[in-house]
Amino acid sequence: MPIFPRGNNAMNAARGLLALAVSLSACSAASLPYKAESPPGSSISAAYTLLADRLRVEIDTVGYRLEDVQLVKPDGGIVRPQTIEHPPAGSGSSIGFGIGMAGGSVSRSGGVGVGTGVGVDVPVGGSNRVQGNTVLYFALDQVGPAPWRLSIKVAETSPAVVVLPPR
């Protein structure tokens, strides 16, 4: 039996691989629809949904922890979120620490060895990495009509501004 398919099977396999590659690349580059206007080149993005009494804003912080956020209304007023849902912390580094002991004796008939040990992993510092997007909720009666400017400070990045236009 041949290892590589021939004829129509080869064409179908190639199409399947192409479709898989395109779909995976689309997932890796996916972000939310409203991009940061400043600083130029920032990858931070956001999306929003109007709920019955609240404004729900989702922020893609490109894997870093959100440090500060405020919504600036068209009249210049500032509104802080009522609720912030932080994603789980990302993987951090740790240092392994071990203690060991060993003993041994050698006699005419052979050798005998005894050993024991203890190992401990100690996390080092706090991680600024997160796994997923941050979700904010603002009181709809406090934010007024769009457009809104979302001022975002994310760990290890410059402050960014994302404009959320009216729909």
**Residue 63's closest CA among 83, 77, 43, 79?**
43
The pLDDT-based confidence of 134 (bands split at 50, 70, 90) is very high
What confidence tens digit (pLDDT) does each residue in 69-125 have? 999 999 999 999 999 999 998 765 545 555 566 566 566 666 565 656 655 545 555
Name residue 51's beta-bridge partners. none
Q: What are phi and psi of 28, to 5 degrees?
A: -70, -25
Cα(92)–Cα(65) distance, rounded to whole angstroms? 13
CATH topology of domain 30-91+126-164: Immunoglobulin-like (2.60.40)
Amino acid occupying residue 112: V
Note the pLDDT of residue 149: 96
Two structure tokens written together for 22: 């395109």
- Stretch 30-55: mean pLDDT: 92
For 73-91, letters b (16+ CB in 10 Å) and e give beeeeebebeeeeebeeee
For residue 142, the SS3 value is: helix
Q: Which two tokens stand for residue 112?
A: 């005998």
Lookup: tokens for 144: 């007024």
Q: So what's the pLDDT on residue 31?
A: 85
